[in-house]
Amino acid sequence: MLLTLLTVVLSAYIRLAEVGIGCETWPDCYAQLNLAQEKKGVTVLTQEGRDMAHYGARVAHRYIASTLGLFIVAITLVALRQGGARRTSLWVPMGVFAITVFLSLLGYYTPSRSNPLITMGNLLGGMSLLGLLWWLMQREVESGDAQQGLVTYRPLAVLALVLVLLQIVLGGWSSANYASANCPGLIECQGEILAAGNVAEAFNPRRTIELDANGTVIREDALGLLSMLHRLFALMTAGYLAWLVRRVKHEPQLRGTVLALPLFSISQIVVGVSTIWFDMPLLLLTLHNTLAAGLLLASINLLHRLSPAVGSQSPG
């Protein structure tokens, strides 16, 4: 879990730094891509990105990810040896292994920042790996022991997890398409973001990154819609989590989770607003990604706490 969290955080830091987050002449220096460098298999795209994405961070990411891979191979082998004598389905550790292989291949063969789907694959793959390992660890170490009264809250916890995942997807898609500079203010964006064509283009999974003659990403109006939707959906998710916490706060078994959910949710909003206010500093935006991982883990923990004990249902 710790190695995975470190890998996710370092990956976010490197990705954000390479494309100019936190550069001095923001937003003019943001999202300047060097496609010739990409074709050579070099992930650092600009001179500014090379200076900001510190060499130590890249080396640490490589070694930590490699060590993590060894641990996941060991987890997979142990799970295969145990077979059915487990508290979780064998599909969970196998899913962890499959995601690890996917991320390894994706990082090796496609070191690109000009394809949004590749960026999303890395981001969502890392978050999925973190979430599955967290679920696996909780269910293996301490299986769900929710009483019948608590189990009734389980659909609400599932919805909370879905909203958090959608929020992460929206944030990742916005970042992968370099939408941050399109909405420099909290409630103001550049261009006609609600035009019908822009709505369709914003969520087109096959959309490509358009560059000008200098290799800078062209800021289409559709990108502003992505950025603003990410912010509005964050408020909606936070509101639902606040309501859910109010519903379950009286349950002693959920005391830790009830504290963690609002802590990560409120921190996410405060840090998100701060990043906009201070013109996207690199460390704050990296913290924003880290808090998203924390909110995901808190949501999964709530689902674990509200799940029936092992033996009362089929393993899952």
Q: Indicate the pTM of the whole model.
A: 0.86
At 180 the pLDDT is 77
Chain-centre distance for alpha carbon 261: 16
Helix crossing, 154-176 with 282-305: angle to 10°?
160
pLDDT along the chain (316 residues), means of 10: 95 84 74 59 47 70 93 94 79 95 81 79 95 92 64 92 96 87 73 64 79 75 82 94 93 89 95 89 92 96 81 45
Burial profile 108-120: b = 16 or more Cβ within 10 angstroms, e = fewer = eebbbbbebebbb
At 309 the pLDDT is 58
At 259 the pLDDT is 94
At 217 the pLDDT is 79
Among residues 293, 291, 285, the alpha carbon closest in space to that of 178 is found at: 285
At 35 the pLDDT is 59
At 45 the pLDDT is 46
Q: Which residue has the tokens 């981001």?
A: 123
| Full 3-state SS string of 45-58 | CCHHHHHHCCHHHH
Q: Give the span between the Cα atoms of 72 and 69, in whole angstroms.
A: 5
Q: Give the span between the Cα atoms of 300 and 298, in whole angstroms.
A: 5
Q: Give the span between the Cα atoms of 117 and 135, in whole angstroms.
A: 26
At 195 the pLDDT is 60
DSSP codes, 128-180: HHHHHHHHHHHHHHS-----HHHHTTHHHHHHHHHHHHHHHHHHHHHHHTT-G
At 145 the pLDDT is 56
Q: Give the span between the Cα atoms of 221 and 235, in whole angstroms.
A: 23
What is the CB-side half-sphere exposure of residue 58 using CA atoms within 13 A? Answer: 16
